[in-house]
Structure 1
Amino acid sequence: MCSVDWFLQHCTLFDQASPKQQSPKPSDLPTTGDINGPYSLKLQDDAKRGNLSTAKAYIRAYWQTGMPYTDIQFWLFYAYNGPATIHVNLLLADTITATADRTLMPAGEHYGDWECCVLRIDNFTKQLIGVCLLQHGVGEYFNEQQLSRFQRVNGQHIVVYPSLNGHALYSGVGRNYTAHGKKDYVVAGVEWMVRNDTADGGQTLDCSSNHEIISMSWLGEQDFPSPKWVSYPCRWGPKDIPQSDVPLGHIEAIINDLGFSGVPGPIKSKIADAIRDQIKQQFRVDLNGPPGPPWNSQGKTWKGQYQ
């Protein structure tokens, strides 16, 4: 993670293909355009790792008339999103007989990654009654009875875990599989899923001490002005890097790791082709950065829509 200010200090703002400003301040960012241009940000290569010492949670409080609760959205920013890891199972009679795991570098990588954790607070009791964790644009909601799944710090603050490389948020440690797919051929088949690994023992960010309130939905800009970067509608990264397929070597390594022991020859060929086709369809190399919280694919989260 890192702060927006630190990220911008290591960027150049581009207008179309031309450098416009080096190390722009938030107030320098344009407020016109969209994901397709004309502006974009190019990060220095040595800044991809971010800088946790500068990181903070950017908080938007969301409430509308009649809502008995208020949602406190914690937006977390990463300078760079790492590659995806795929897990593949070879099946015989629906039983797993072989597995393969492969990091599909550079598939899944992109610049300027935004993630979100939402705390739902009862307006009358002021108690936490729900949590929503964003995972690749999809929300996992925990109601009041499910909050025991979270570890607590000082008996109050919940602990959440960002996944390796991808930063999707989870309530505990594990592989946290998503994007499941399956293909069957008579007695044999194959299934695949994305791994979102989380673990204990790493670095932490205390959002109760490191945060900035940037928006309150019931107050206009005149009453509570947001930082200028909130109104920047273009990419937090480059915009014109061509998409490409996952390197073929990754796919062939997965096929070799599975071995296909016990699978009839004609079916083996079909399964191998299915793996190639599905990886090409579901995984693309797209290094271009997404737009910010109000504008990107998670923009519905900004507006209080989490499912």
Structure 2
Amino acid sequence: MRRKQRRTSHEEEFPNNQRFISQFTLSQFHFFTKIVRTLNVVFGAILNWCRLLKMLGCKCLSWTNVTDLTQPKPEFFSLPEPLPQWPQGCGFATSRIELGGLEVCQITNFEFIWCSNPSTDGKQSISFYKPILIPDGFYCLGHYCQPDKKPLRGFVLVAREAAGRHDHSTDHMPSLVDPVDYSLVWSSYDGGDENFDGCGYFWLPQPPEGYKSLGFVVTNKSKKPETNEVKCVRADLTDTCEACPLIACTYSKFLKVPLTVWNARPLNRGIYGRGVSTGTFYCRALCSNCSLGEELDIACLKNLDPNLHAMPNMDQIHAIVEHYGPTVFFHPNEVYLPSSVSWFFQNGALLYSTGESMQAIDAEGSVLPYGGSDDGHYWIDLPCDGRREKLKHGNIESAILYLHVKPAFGGTFTDIVMWVFCPFNGPGTLKIGKMSIGLSKVGRHVGDWEHFTLRISNFTGELWSIYFSQHSGGEWVDAYDLEFNEGNKAIIYSSRNGHASYPYPGTYIQGNPKLRIGARNDAARSDYFIDSSRQYEVVAAEYLGDVVKEPCWLQYMRKWGPRIVYDSKSELDKIVKRLPPLFRNSMNNILSKLPLELYGEDGPTGPKEKNNWFGDERW
């Protein structure tokens, strides 16, 4: 009875509860029934649509892109601030460049053609484009492609015959002609009975004798492109190009032959290289590597104008640096800071020579041996008195960036190489897994030269990318991937003790990053920084002739520090003892993966002795 009373009491507290639940459930049931019926209709329609597509041959959808359904929507990048009005003079930032026989224009507007491996996030897909909004009289040389994970920010060059530039030795041969035909390099079509338009077709223009093709044509139809889709260029106006770096090797579950796609770049680069990048790509229907220097089916352009008229003059150089000059941040725990070269000389640096003789160095470095090569007879070192420690720690108040301005890609781009000098390079830190072991001596040396490079488009004056030098290598980082500090001024992070350059703060491994074994480089923002837009000096620009007077110390081709050979065994014994027992047995394998420079330090040479002074960066 009590249980019944309790239940009755509960029902009295909520007298309409049971009826409410029944009504609510019935209402919800009718509502969800309508939803289910609607979904059945929708999914049924989708299923029928998919069956129809399959009947029409749309098994290529795993490769292709239906424009209205899955076409990637590329993001577009622009610098944080608009470009300034550059000082007038020469052909810099005039949008067009004469190459001695051809006039070229940079196109950055594209129309989407086809996408391989389309995905909603764009991480696995590559899109192919044709240039649009081409000025009257100019002609396309090839199509463009890039991964969809990147903002759409690329270029291709279009060309026309330069006015008043006719080569009489080839007067019977125009600079630009239509290809005679196209050869199909690869298609995503799986070979079914239906001729399905919507797959990707890659065509190589077949040039007439005496001409070269400069790029590929991509279509989403099986019909050959019209012969006037692109132009071929007379062979004497072209240069050799190479395939690098690899963009992707794409596969299809229906096809056995993959497509490999690379960027195409001039083989002959650097100050004296005249190869001009056209912005096109190279591809072939095999997943195999292209060896450096391998002759390709396409070429790049060649600048035959000896004056490189599109390179900036001194007023324009200063305007570029003041607009783009990065801020270089040193680590908050950095104790080996930069200085100016003159401060280093004036505060006790000495010139040593064989025979144990030494000599003080004046602020300009006029006593240093001039030119020649590193014969081992001279080197710079710190004094052995109280000034030694002061010199090691540098003087950031006096520090400036030393600028070398040089042509890139045949004078269509300008490289502004910014060199930073540190009197001393501190000891390294060894990273093994999660362990970090400070090295007492390894990595220490006198006189540390590091650099980063701004690459500027001579068509517009726009910052295109920055090269971050990291000891014996480095990387190019596109402008859209940079961290900006103020306006269009990027940030450079200099690593603790070693002064390598990085685009972001963090910990970097020099050695084997996958196994996390190697020299550790830490980069972070701090109150120690140099504003290169203000603290700089242009020390070299060969293309300007005698306009820039190079300092005496730049002609010093010997070592900026003595050679040091470490007792590496004692250092490594300490490392072994600190390792967990599990790691000790495999120590030999670990040591074989360490950077070679951990075993000794040769005195570094100055900027002009580095291979990137006259050549291109390592990439």
C-alpha contact 2:426 2:497 (8 A) present in aligned 1: yes
| Structure-2 change in CA distance of 1:64 and 1:236 (3 Å) | same
The amino acid of 1:27's aligned partner reads: S
1-side partners of 2:598 and 2:395: how far apart? 28
Which residue number in structure 2 is paired with residue 123 of structure 1? Answer: 458
Displacement of 1:136 after TM fit? 0.6
Which residue number in structure 1 is paired with residue 606 of structure 2? Answer: 292
Gaps of 5+ in 2: 1-337
Which residue number in structure 2 is paired with residue 218 of structure 1? Answer: 543
2-side partners of 1:306 and 1:125: how far apart? 22
Gaps of 5+ in 1: 90-98, 183-189
2-side partners of 1:39 and 1:300: how far apart? 20
Which residue number in structure 2 is paired with residue 22 of structure 1? Answer: 360
C-alpha contact 2:430 2:436 (8 A) present in aligned 1: yes
Question: 2:512 aligns to what SS in structure 1?
Answer: strand
Pair 1:53 & 2:431 matched: no
Displacement of 1:21 after TM fit? 2.1
| Structure of higher RCO (CA pairs closer than 8 Å, 6+ residues apart) | 1
Which residue number in structure 1 is paired with residue 426 of structure 2? Answer: 82
1-side partners of 2:517 and 2:411: how far apart? 41
Please give the residue correspondences for 1:211-290 in structure 2 after superposition, counting only pairs within 5 Å.
Answer: 211-220=536-545, 222-239=546-563, 241=564, 243-246=565-568, 248=570, 250-260=571-581, 263=582, 270-275=585-590, 283-286=598-601, 288-290=602-604
TM-score, normalization by structure 1: 0.81
Structure number with greater Rg is 2
Which residue number in structure 1 is paired with residue 499 of structure 2? Answer: 167
C-alpha contact 1:101 1:254 (8 A) present in aligned 2: no
The amino acid of 1:291's aligned partner reads: T
CA deviation map 1:205-241 (0-9, x unaligned): 0111100000013133x443211111101111224x4
Which residue number in structure 2 is paired with residue 156 of structure 1? Answer: 488
Question: 2:530 aligns to what SS in structure 1?
Answer: coil
Which residue number in structure 2 is paired with residue 13 of structure 1? Answer: 351
C-alpha contact 1:12 1:20 (8 A) present in aligned 2: yes
Please give the residue correspondences for 1:130-209 in structure 2 after superposition, counting only pairs within 5 Å.
Answer: 130-143=465-478, 147-180=479-512, 192-209=517-534
Displacement of 1:276 after TM fit? 5.2
Which residue number in structure 2 is paired with residue 92 of structure 1? Answer: none
Give the aligned CA root-mean-square deviation in angstroms: 2.4
C-alpha contact 1:245 1:280 (8 A) present in aligned 2: no
Question: 2:607 aligns to what SS in structure 1?
Answer: coil
| Structure-2 change in CA distance of 1:305 and 1:255 (3 Å) | same
Query: Number of matched residues?
Result: 274
C-alpha contact 1:106 1:285 (8 A) present in aligned 2: no
C-alpha contact 1:83 1:105 (8 A) present in aligned 2: yes
Displacement of 1:254 after TM fit? 3.6
C-alpha contact 1:31 1:231 (8 A) present in aligned 2: yes
| Structure-2 change in CA distance of 1:168 and 1:191 (3 Å) | closer
Displacement of 1:12 after TM fit? 1.4
Pair 1:69 & 2:413 matched: yes
Give the % identical residues. 30
C-alpha contact 1:85 1:101 (8 A) present in aligned 2: yes
Displacement of 1:252 after TM fit? 4.2
| Structure-2 change in CA distance of 1:269 and 1:56 (3 Å) | closer
TM-score, normalization by structure 2: 0.42
Q: 1:106 aligns with which of 437, 441, 444?
A: 441
C-alpha contact 1:41 1:235 (8 A) present in aligned 2: yes
Which residue number in structure 2 is paired with residue 94 of structure 1? Answer: none
The amino acid of 1:225's aligned partner reads: K
Displacement of 1:244 after TM fit? 2.3
Q: Which moved more, 1:77-86 or 1:191-200?
A: 191-200
Displacement of 1:154 after TM fit? 2.3
C-alpha contact 1:234 1:292 (8 A) present in aligned 2: yes
2-side partners of 1:104 and 1:33: how far apart? 36
C-alpha contact 1:11 1:24 (8 A) present in aligned 2: no
C-alpha contact 1:62 1:304 (8 A) present in aligned 2: no
| Structure-2 change in CA distance of 1:278 and 1:122 (3 Å) | closer
1-side partners of 2:550 and 2:382: how far apart? 24
CA deviation map 1:31-73 (0-9, x unaligned): 1453342111122322111111110000010116832110011
Displacement of 1:258 after TM fit? 3.7
The structure with the largest strand share of the pair is 1
CA deviation map 1:175-226 (0-9, x unaligned): 11121188xxxxxxx7612211011224010111100000013133x44321
Question: 2:561 aligns to what SS in structure 1?
Answer: coil
C-alpha contact 1:81 1:110 (8 A) present in aligned 2: yes
Displacement of 1:247 after TM fit? 5.5
CA deviation map 1:132-159 (0-9, x unaligned): 010012121012xxx2333223211111
